[in-house]
Amino acid sequence: MFTRDSRPPRIDTLIGKAAHVHGDVDFQGGLHLDGHIDGAVRSDEAPASSLCVSESGSIQGAVRVPNVVLNGTVKGDIHARERVVLGATARVEGDVYYGIIEMTLGAQIVGKLVRLEPEGPLVAPQEAPS
């Protein structure tokens, strides 16, 4: 019933520990963040797009990425229509909108958890009997 995706996330873009980005970041594919971003983080709409934030990484702004793996800090809302994985050192100050969520003991969220409905109907609606 439950499956764990053992594939490592794809990394197309790397922002190192010493980097500090001021402004919004738009990317395609996978982004690994060890540094800091002061601005929104967005990716293309591909279901495989992912953001991985290490323990040293932080974002001050909204995140809109289909898949998020967080071990660092986000001060802003997270919109991940596919999957959110929060590690033991994850800190979120904002609401988390998710399709599927996985949390490790120790993760902290100061905000709401809101499950997003899957796009499109999973089962055809049944007609009421006459």
**CA–CA gap between residue 32 and residue 12 (Å, rounded):** 8
Per DSSP, the three-state class of 22 is: strand
| pLDDT, tens only, 1-28 | 344 555 666 788 999 999 999 999 999 9
Q: What DSSP character marks residue 42?
A: E
**Would the pTM of this model clear 0.75, i.e. be above it?**
yes
The residue whose two tokens read 């996330």 is: 9
| pLDDT, tens only, 19-57 | 999 999 999 999 999 999 999 999 988 888 999 999 999
**CA–CA gap between residue 50 and residue 13 (Å, rounded):** 11
Which range is least confidently modeled, 38-47, 53-62, 74-83, 87-96? Answer: 38-47
